[in-house]
Amino acid sequence: MKEVIEKQIKEFGLPVMTDEKSGALQWLDLRELNLRYIISIENIKPFFEGLKEGKLLTTKCKHCGRIFFPPQRDCPSCRISDMEWVELSREGTLETLTVIFVKPPSFGSYDPYTVAIAKLDDGPRITAWLKGDPRKAKPGMRVRLEISKREKEGYMMYELVPVE
């Protein structure tokens, strides 16, 4: 796009272009926005430390015993913020899946990927990529949660793996 804009300015003296389909004149915005969020994970830090050590941790309210996944600092039932960190059950049952063919540009380096939701044996559900051939996967099948390195981006993340 940047090259197109430069070319148009050179040619017409303005960043304008006629849309091919409609024939309507368009202004090509010069003020490109690069958006990247910086998100606080301070209060759920053990989750990320656990991930690095190959553990999947989440929060459990010390008072009412409610387990939260994703982990959160505050228990809305008790209105008390006193959580303990417990390990998630690593096995569960696949509930549903999809294969993403039309990807967001920020996932452009990956091949089509399978996103699934599983219900873990200790209760919580989890959304994650499902490893393996999606044509062989079916809701109701047993899956295991594993931690692995994302090949393209090199960071640790959990994924669902079919139990043979």
Q: How far apart are CA 47 and CA 162, in angstroms?
A: 23
Instruction: Answer whether 52's CB lies under 8 Å from 80's CB.
Output: no
Q: How far is the CB of 138 from other proteins (least distance, A)?
A: 7
Q: How far is the CB of 149 from other proteins (least distance, A)?
A: 13
Question: Residue 132 or residue 139: which is nearer to other proteins going by CB?
Answer: 139
Specify the residue, 71 or 83, whose C-beta has the smaller distance to other proteins: 71
Going by C-beta distance under 8 Å and a sequence separation of 6 or more, which residues neighbour residue 81? 73, 74, 75
Cβ-based nearer residue to other proteins, 83 or 97: 97
Cis peptide before 112 (omega within 30 of 0): no
Provide the minimum distance between the beta carbon of 151 and other proteins in the complex, in angstroms, as a whole number.
14
* Binding-site ranges for other proteins (CB under 8 A): 1, 19, 21-22, 24, 26, 29, 37, 39, 69-70, 95-107, 110, 113, 115, 117, 124-129, 134, 138-140, 157
Q: Nearest approach, Cβ of 76 to other proteins (angstroms)?
A: 12
User: Cα–Cα distances in Å, from 94 out to 16, 115, 123, 133, 142?
Assistant: 51, 11, 13, 14, 6
Tell me the sheet residues that pair with 161: 144
Report the DSSP beta bridge partners of residue 160.
Answer: 130, 145
Residue among 32 and 164 whose Cβ is closer to other proteins: 32
